[in-house]
Chains A and B, each alone.
Chain A
Amino acid sequence: MTTSFRHDPLPTNTMHTGSALLTNDVGLHARPSVKLTQLAKRFGANIEFARAATGPWVDAKSPVKVMRFKAAKGETLHFRARGSDAAEALAAIVSLIERGFATEAESSSLPPQG
């Protein structure tokens, strides 16, 4: 993993960042972790997240690592992504977390997933 977009001249490799507050009851628990990683894997971009904007960073496509991370309700997750679809990926992930991990179809009718 490269560290910062300033060292990388290609515009498609620009580092995108974002953050989201975990509001669902149980944090990044089993089902939310599966949803997060499934969503992340739909994008070609390299996606990572951390507790602080400075890292340490965790691969958002690895359910094992996401579960090891044990993020609890009320924590803010910082994301960074690099790749041609990085911006789109970040928007989708932040949206998923803000919906409390409900899928788009569920978000209008169901409470946040646990």
Chain B
Amino acid sequence: MEKRFAGRSAAPGVALGALLPVANGAGTRVASGAAESEAEALRIALNAALTELKDLVERSTHDAAAILEFQVALLEDDVLAEPAFSAIAAGSAADHAWLDAMQREIAGYEGSDDEYFRARGADLYDIRDRVLAHLTGSATEPTVPPGAIVAAVDLAPSRFLAIDWTRGGALVLTAGSTTSHVAMLARSRGIPAVVGLGVDLAELSKLGLVDAHRGLLIVNPGPAARAQFERDAEAAVAARALTATAATQPAVTADGTRIGILLNIADPRELADLDPAVCDGIGLVRTEFLFHDRQGLPSEEQQYLIYRRIVEWAQGRPVTIRTLDAGGDKPIPGLTPVGESNPFLGMRGLRISLAQPDVFRTQLRALTRAAMHGDVKIMLPMVTQPRELAVARRMLDAEVAALGAAGIPGRRPSLGIMIEVPAAAIAADQFDAEFFSIGSNDLTQYVAAAGRDIDSVADLADPTQPAMLRLFRCVVDAAHARHIDVSLCGDAGGDPRAIPRLLAAGLRSLSMAPALVGGAKLAVAATDLSAVVESESWPT
């Protein structure tokens, strides 16, 4: 019996495969408080992870097996967990002890001057997360077969990254959000994803057909649905070939205007296997990942090493790194306030950074040091008034001076602002910034007073409605008057349907998830700027 469930598309594409429900990896663990049982918990998790890895080796291709065998060798070596067991003996909880020990091990790799050793840090992250999953009991479903449709209530980013997506598959979430980290990762990897299905996970089994263009999941699809899938899949293959070719070409409109194409990334692992030549730089590095996956706040050194890796990947192209944008839908325990009645209108973005200057200064120092390795631009999120920018600039200049006085190599990055608060968009000309980047996701939500995550009003949050296009034009004009760069880094920037209108509004630089580059370049090529006029009519 065919059953259809409607949700929201979080990443486009179609897929047909076995539905695999996975338990919600909440990833929380209650420590026993006794060193003996904590040590035992870690031992059990290490063994389970090792068994699982060996099982994976058995079922892997030759190349994948060689990589996994390296992980097996490290995990079999008692030396790896020694510091964790020492910490447990000294009173640490098992998961904290393991994370700390692995963080130090990973820092050793990432601090290497040798690119080969730095790259192996990714294996260490894998080991860390695999053991952690067993420790927190979130690894109830040990492996996901290739091409499966993973079904969950919501999925942790590390869980998504642990799944091998190289042979297709799709993601369906009964809850979840299109703006979540995992949704961004799915878009970035080109994995079809539908979220907000609003059904019981137990209903999602057997064969599933995901039509993420229409935000649909069809369980036990009938002949008609399957025939439609075949057509969609064929079209997708053709489109992929086309976009893959387009991705390697510069973005030029039909009338010959060169458009800058930048990448949005939420995790440096997204850059693996990606050729920097497909883009003109990175338009948005979200730094929240640094604050989510680990215990405590990341040190200046940890941040510096990761920023440096990204900057080196870009090979001289500009890299715009956004300072911590916590709050709103991205709470970080210990940093963001608890119990705000409306977190989207409360302490978030730069507001938190200015209230927690030590955390902010650490990030500014790490960014200044990373700027030695390339063209780093610092972007401040949620700026509302010019005085906030002025305070941040004074803090940056002070940190640059302090590093210089201490003889630590660094270079002052340019300092720009994300335009996502309507007040900043309307009065953009008042901001003495070195560049603007329009954050169209939040700007649209704030202007339309409608959340994209709220089904019943999501239609109102259209980033190409006239009010938005007027605002974009206003920001572009302000940037031109100030002779500074302006780009757009919301989801609209990678949406082929929105791109002609964004270009018509005067934008010449767009930032998007890596998987969207090819499609965006095709949309750019199809746009004739001498023919399009700025739309002033409401979409029907």
Q: Tell me which residues from 28 to 48 in chain A have a Cβ below 8 Å from any Cβ of chain B.
A: 29-31, 33-34, 37-38
Find residues 62-84 in chain B having any chain A CB closer than 8 Å to their own CB. Answer: 66-67, 69-70, 73-74, 76-77, 79-80
A27–B114 CB distance below 8 A:
yes
Q: Contacts A68-B108, A72-B114 hold; do A31 and B66 have CB atoms under 8 A apart?
A: yes
Q: Are B79 and A62 in contact (CB under 8 A)?
A: yes
**Which residues of chain A have C-beta atoms less than 8 A from B109's C-beta?**
67
Select from chain A the residue with minimum beta-carbon distance to B76. A63
Interface 1/0 per residue, A61-83 and B, CB below 8 Å: 01111011010100000000000
Given A30-B123, A68-B108, A70-B112, also A63-B117 (CB < 8 A): no
Q: Is B373 an interface residue (CB 8 A)?
A: no
Report whether B116 and A26 are in contact in the complex, using a CB–CB cutoff of 8 Å: yes
**Are A34 and B70 in contact (CB-based, < 8 A)?**
yes
Main SS class of interface, A: helix
Report chain B residues within 8 Å CB of A29. 116-117, 120
Interface size, A (range): 10 to 19
User: What are the residues of chain B within 8 A of A65 when measuring CB–CB?
Assistant: 77, 79
How long is the Cα–Cα vector from A59 to B80 in the complex, in angstroms?
13
Task: Select A70's contact among B69, B70, B114, beta carbons within 8 Å.
Answer: B114
**Which residues from B are CB-within-8-Å of A68?**
105, 108
> Measured between alpha carbons, how far is A59 from B78 in the docked complex, in Å?
12
Which residues, 95 to 124 on B, are CB-close (under 8 Å) to A?
A: 105, 108-109, 112, 114, 116-117, 120, 123
B90 to chain A, nearest CB (A): 21
Q: Whole-angstrom distance between the alpha carbons of A22 and B117 in the complex?
A: 16
Known: A33-B73, A34-B70. A64 touches B116 (CB 8 A): no
Inter-subunit contact A63/B116 (CB<8 Å): no
Is A64 a contact partner of B80 (Cβ separation < 8 A)?
yes
Partner of A37, one of B66, B73, B105, B116: B73
Contact B79 A67 (CB under 8 A): no
Q: Which residues of B contact A70 (CB under 8 A)?
A: 112, 114, 117
Chain A nearest CB, measured from B60 CB (Å): 15
A-B residue pairs in contact (CB < 8 Å), sample of 15:
A29-B116, A29-B120, A31-B70, A33-B70, A33-B73, A34-B70, A34-B73, A62-B79, A63-B70, A63-B76, A63-B77, A64-B79, A67-B109, A68-B108, A70-B117
Which A residues contact B (CB, under 8 angstroms)? 26-27, 29-31, 33-34, 37-38, 59, 62-65, 67-68, 70, 72, 114
Additional 5 contacts, C-beta under 8 A, given A26-B116, A30-B67: A30-B123, A38-B73, A63-B76, A64-B79, A70-B112
